[in-house]
Amino acid sequence: MILALLVGGIAVVALVVVGLFAFGLRRRLIQRSGGTFDCSLRWDTPEPAGVGPADTSGKGWGYGIARYSGDRIEWFRVFSYAHRPRRVLERSAIEVIGRRDPEGEEELALLSDAVVLACSHRGVRLELAMSEDALTGFLAWLEAAPPGQRVNVA
């Protein structure tokens, strides 16, 4: 009985170590091509009624890594084993609506230095939360679109 518990405990510890190693390896593989930044995403957010405040409940945010890939941004969840991006945002389809600081419970759900950028992508409202440095790079990437592409940066 004790031997079975010992073997079972060792197996559980080994699985946890392998799982953590896989998370780290996946992140390294995503970042190896460069052009990545930490970015939280909230997809299909409700439109604020009138001039009222945005949804600051902190719900719906997913922590991830965004990677520039040509004329698109690939967004990967941090806590996932998937090798494909969860969302892909094309530069020509992104429309920046506004920016704000996290408020209320959002301050707990997001990184400490995050700025929230409200956007629209093919008619779907979304919010991206990233550091001030990453925001500067993101807006520069949007504005650097090839001639003839419609880019709207608020």
CATH of the domain at 119: 2.30.29.30
User: For the whole model, what pTM was predicted?
Assistant: 0.77
Q: How far apart are CA 129 and CA 121, in angstroms?
A: 15
Confidence of residue 39 (pLDDT cuts 50, 70, 90): very high
Burial of residue 66 (CB within 10 Å: 0-12, 13-18, 19+) is buried
Say yes or no: 6 and 62 in one domain. Answer: no
Q: Which domain holds residue 49?
A: 34-143
Q: Does residue 148 fall inside a structural domain?
A: no
Say yes or no: 59 and 133 in one domain. Answer: yes
Domain count, the chain: 2
Given this model, what pLDDT does residue 27 score?
73
Which tokens belong to 69?
Answer: 């890939």
Q: Does residue 151 fall inside a structural domain?
A: no
Q: Does residue 149 fall inside a structural domain?
A: no
Given this model, what pLDDT does residue 51 score?
46
Given this model, what pLDDT does residue 144 score?
84
Say yes or no: 68 and 117 in one domain. Answer: yes
Say yes or no: 106 and 117 in one domain. Answer: yes
Q: Does residue 150 fall inside a structural domain?
A: no
| Alpha helix segments (H runs only) across the chain | 2-31, 106-109, 132-143
The angle at the Cα of 60, spanning 135 to 111, to the nearest 5 degrees, equals: 40
* Pairing mode, strands 36-43 and 124-131: antiparallel
